[in-house]
Structure 1
C-alpha cells in the first residue's frame, strides 16, 4: 500500500502525539485504520449516490426516448394498418383478376375448341358432301339400273302373265276334272263303304264276320288285360294291342291260321286255363273269340294295329245318372270356379254344379264314367278338365265347357281309372295320372299328348307342375314321390321318406321344395335337389288326403281325421284347425277367401278362411234335375 501525505505526517508525528496524550501507539493506529475505513465507506456511499443519480438520469432519458419512440410509432402503426388494408384490397383485386383471367382462358379455350369443332364439322361436311355426291351418283346409276331391270321385269311379267293366263285356263280345266273325279271318288267311297257295310252285315248275319274293335277288344280289355299287359305280362303274353297279340308268348303264337281250332288262344279259353285264377269266359265270349280266330283273326280298325285296345274300342256309352240319389255318394273331387259363385263336385256318372251363396244345385252334366276322381278349371275360364273312371273297366279324361254343359274333347282313354290331373301355372299344359302308374302330358292349344312317363309301379295319386312349368312331381301308392324334368322326361329324384302311401303333393312357391302327405299322417317338406327332408309336421290323426297351396304361401290340408287345417308359410306348422264334419275329408278346393271340402259321407262343406267351422254344409245328393243334358 502506498503512503499518502496524510499518512506520512501521521506516521511521523504519531509517536509524539501518542506520548503526549498518553495513548499507546497501537491504539492510535487502530483509530487511524477505523477512520480510514469510515472515510472509505463515506466516499463509496457518495460514489454510489452519484452513480444512482447518473443511472436515474439515464433511466429518465431512456423513458423519455421510449415515450418519444411510442409517439413516433403511432403514425407508423396507422400507416401499417392502412398498408394492410390496401394489401387486403390488392389481394381481393388480384384474386378477382385471376378469376377473370381464368374465365378469359376458359372462354379462349372454348373459342379455340369451337373453332376446332367448326373446322372439324366443316371438314366432315366437306367429306359428307363428297360422299353424298358419290352416293347420289351411285344411286343415279342404281336408279338407271333399276329402271332397266323394271323394264326387263315388266317384259317378263307380261310374258308370264300371258303364260299364267294359259296355265290358269289349264288349272281351271284341271280343277273341274279334279272336282268331277273327287265327286266320283266320294260316290265310290260311299258305295264302297255301303257295300262293305252290307258285306259286313251279311257276314255277321251269316256268322262269317266278327269285329275285333266292337266284339273282341272289349272282351280282351275286360277279362285278359289285367294279367297280360306291358307292365306285368304273365307268360310274356301281352294283350295291350292287336300287334302285341301277334307276337305270342312263352307258349308260342296265339293263332294257328292253318288249323284255327288248335290256336293257343282258343285252346286256353276253352279249357279254362285263361283267365288264370279267375272265372272262365262265358260260352258266348268263347264262341265269339273262336269264330273270330276261325275267320282269320282279322283287324278291322282304321287305327294302327299297335294302338292300345282301349283306344281301338268304340268309346263307351255311360248310363244316365238317376234323377235322385237314394243315398249320397262320396265326394272325391271338388273345384271352385274363378267367379267365386259356383262349386263343381263329383257325382254318380255326372258332374254337379252348386251355388256358393245358397248351396242350391244349378246344373247336372251327365255322360261320364261311374266315378269322378279329379276336377280342375283351366285358369279363370269355363273349361273344366275331368278325370274319371269305372273301376276295372275304363278311365277317361274329358274336357267340358261349363257354360254350355258340352264336352269339348274326349281327351284320353285308359284301361285304368284316371285318379288325378292338374293344369300348369300358365294353363298351357295338363298333366294326368292314373291307376296304371303312368303320367301323361297334354298341350292345351290343340289338346295333343306330348309325353308319357311310366312313373310308378302303383297308382299315381297326385301330380303338380313346378311354378315355371319345367318340372312335374307325382305321388303314388308305391310309397314314393318323384320329380321329372319335362324337357327330357328324366326322373330327377325320388323321395321315399313317407314309407307309406303318398296321397298328395305340391311344389312350394320357390320351386326348389315339395310338400307331400300320405298315410303316414305327416306332412313332409323336401328338397328336389337331393330328396332330403327339410321339415315335417305331425299332429294328424288320419291320412292326409289333399294339399293345396294358397296365394299367400300358406298351405291348406284335409285329412281322414275329419279336419281342415291351415299351415303357416314359413314352417308349415298348423296355424288353425277347422273342425266340424262328421266324416273323413277326401277332397279340397281353395279360393282367395274360402275353401270347399268333400267328405266320405257325401257332404260338401263351405269354409271361410276367417271362421273355425263350416259356414254351410249339405249333401251333394241331387233331388231335382236342373239343366240336365244328354250325352
Structure 2
C-alpha cells in the first residue's frame, strides 16, 4: 500500500490557545450579564460574590468556586454547564451562551488571570519527553520463523480490527481476526503468519517489552474469557490465565512478564501471576465495565479505566490505590503510557484527549477537541466526538484515532503534527512501529492502513 501524503493539522487546543483570557476584560462582563443579581455586591447567595476577582477566588459556602487549570472540577463551571435545567445556573433562565461558557472554561484552564499583566495561577509543568535508558536484549529482534500450520476461518466479510499492537523491537504488527491473530511485516505490510485463538474474539493484543511474547486477551461474550501468552518466534502457547464468565475486554502484561491484569463487564480488575496462573489482587474501585488497562513501562503503576469515565492508578506490585484521575465524563476508550512513564494519555467518548502527569495526577495537557467532527449539511443533532485509540511512539509522539474518521499524530508537548484520513471506515486501533517511522490504523471494515512519517 502506498504511503499517503502527510498534511499539517491545524487544531487549537485549550492548552495552546494564543489569546489570554482575563477576569477584567472577558469574564466579569459575562458575570455582570448573567450572575451578579444573585452573586454580586448586594446579594451573595451561597456566600458567593462574583463581582470582584478576590471574592471569586475566595469562593462561597460550598468551598472554592474555581480551581486554576481544572474547569471540569470547578463548582462554578459545573453549575453553568449542568444538563439538568433545575440544577443549571442561572436558575429559571436560558443557559449561558456556549461562546461565553467557552471563555469561562479557557479562563479557568489558563490559570485564572485577573488582567493581561497577571500571571497564571497554574504552576508550570515540564511535559518534555526524557528518553528512558535503552534496554539491552540478547539476540536479534524476535520475528516469527516457524509458526505452526494454521488456516484462518473463512468469513463472508472481514471483521472490524478490534485489537492491534506493534512490536517494540521488530518490524512486526499483530492484528485481531476471527478466532486468530494475523502477523504482518511492518516493512512490506504483507501477512507472514497467524496464531490461532480458539478462545474467541481477540479484544486486546500486547507485546512484551522485549518483543518475545505476545499477549492475546478476549473470549466469547457472556460465555468465557481468558488471556493467552504466545512465543513470537515459534507461535507456541506459553500459558493461559483467567477463567471469566464473560469475554475479557481489557488486559495488559507487566514489563517483567510476571503479572497479567484483566478486566471486563465485571467491573473488577483482576491481577494474575504468570508463573502459576493464580490470582494476586482484585481491584474494586470501578463502578462500570473496565475498558482499558495499562502497566507503566517501569512497572511501578497500573492504570485502569472504565465505561463511566473513571481512571485509577494502582501500585504495579501491591495493587494499592495511588491516584484517581477525574476528568472524563464518558467512557474512556484508550490508555497509553509514554515510554518514560511520566505521562499517561487517555482518550474518551467525551472527545477529551488528556496527557496526565502521573507524579500527582494533574492533567498537564488537555485537548477538548482532538477529533472534531464535520457537521453534514442539514444535520442538527449532537455529533459523536470520541477518541477511540491511542499509541505512543519511541520519541514521545502520540497517535490517536477518533470518530471523525481521522488518525492524528501529536508531539510530546501536545502540538498537532499530522493528520491522516481513514477513508474506508471508522479507525478503531492505532500502532507505531518500533523506530517511529511507520504508522498503522485498523478500521471497522477490517482494513489495516499504513502511513510513513517521512514527508
2:396 aligned to which of 550, 553, 560 = 553
Aligned match of 1:53: none
Aligned match of 1:544: 387
1:481 aligned to which of 301, 306, 311 = 311
Query: 1: distance between equivalents of 2:412 and 2:357?
Result: 16
Structural mapping, 1:370-449, within 5 Å: 370-445=200-275, 448-449=278-279
Shift of 1:444: 4.3
Query: 1: distance between equivalents of 2:303 and 2:287?
Result: 15
Structural mapping, 1:102-121, within 5 Å: none
Aligned match of 1:577: 419
Shift of 1:366: 2.3
Greater relative contact order, per chain length (Cα 8 Å cut-off, separation 6+): 2
User: Are the counterparts in 1 of residues 297 and 339 from structure 2 also a CA contact under 8 Å?
Assistant: yes
Deviation string, structure 1 residues 95-120 (Cα, Å, up to 9, x no partner): xxxxxxxxxxxxxxxxxxxxxxxxxx
Query: 2: distance between equivalents of 1:530 and 1:357?
Result: 39
1:599 aligned onto 2:443 = yes
Query: 1: distance between equivalents of 2:389 and 2:445?
Result: 17
Change (3 A) 1:455 1:599: farther
Change (3 A) 1:405 1:489: closer
**TM (normalized to structure 2)?**
0.58
1:495 aligned onto 2:325 = yes
Shift of 1:558: 1.5
Change (3 A) 1:518 1:321: farther
Deviation string, structure 1 residues 125-169 (Cα, Å, up to 9, x no partner): xxxxxxxxxxxxxxxxxxxxxxxxxxxxxxxxxxxxxxxxxxxxx
Query: 1: distance between equivalents of 2:211 and 2:358?
Result: 32
Shift of 1:330: 0.4
Change (3 A) 1:467 1:337: closer
Which contiguous aligned blocks of 4+ residues in structure 1 show a shift greater than 6 angstroms?
A: none
Structural mapping, 1:196-345, within 5 Å: 323-338=153-168, 340-345=170-175
Query: 2: distance between equivalents of 1:476 and 1:510?
Result: 24
Aligned match of 2:95: none
Change (3 A) 1:513 1:604: closer
Change (3 A) 1:487 1:403: closer
Query: 2: distance between equivalents of 1:365 and 1:580?
Result: 27
Query: 2: distance between equivalents of 1:577 and 1:337?
Result: 23
Give 3-state SS (helix, strand or coil) of 1:564's partner. Answer: strand
Q: Which has the higher helix share?
A: 1
Shift of 1:422: 2.4
Query: 2: distance between equivalents of 1:478 and 1:504?
Result: 13
CA RMSD of aligned residues (A): 2.5
User: Are the counterparts in 2 of residues 334 and 596 from structure 1 also a CA contact under 8 Å?
Assistant: no
Shift of 1:365: 2.4
Aligned match of 1:293: none
Aligned match of 2:190: 360
**TM (normalized to structure 1)?**
0.43
Query: 1: distance between equivalents of 2:190 and 2:219?
Result: 26
User: Are the counterparts in 2 of residues 565 and 577 from structure 1 also a CA contact under 8 Å?
Assistant: yes
Aligned match of 1:515: 345
Shift of 1:475: 1.2
Aligned match of 1:50: none
Change (3 A) 1:342 1:486: closer
* Structure ID, larger Rg: 1
Deviation string, structure 1 residues 314-337 (Cα, Å, up to 9, x no partner): xxxxxx986422101001111223
Shift of 1:428: 4.2
Aligned match of 1:535: 365
Aligned match of 1:350: 180
User: Are the counterparts in 2 of residues 493 and 529 from structure 1 also a CA contact under 8 Å?
Assistant: no
Give 3-state SS (helix, strand or coil) of 1:379's partner. Answer: coil
Which stretches in structure 2 are left out of the alignment for 5+ residues?
1-149, 373-384
Which stretches in structure 1 are left out of the alignment for 5+ residues?
1-319, 612-631
User: Are the counterparts in 2 of residues 401 and 407 from structure 1 also a CA contact under 8 Å?
Assistant: yes
User: Are the counterparts in 2 of residues 349 and 372 from structure 1 also a CA contact under 8 Å?
Assistant: yes
Query: 2: distance between equivalents of 1:337 and 1:486?
Result: 22
Change (3 A) 1:455 1:321: farther
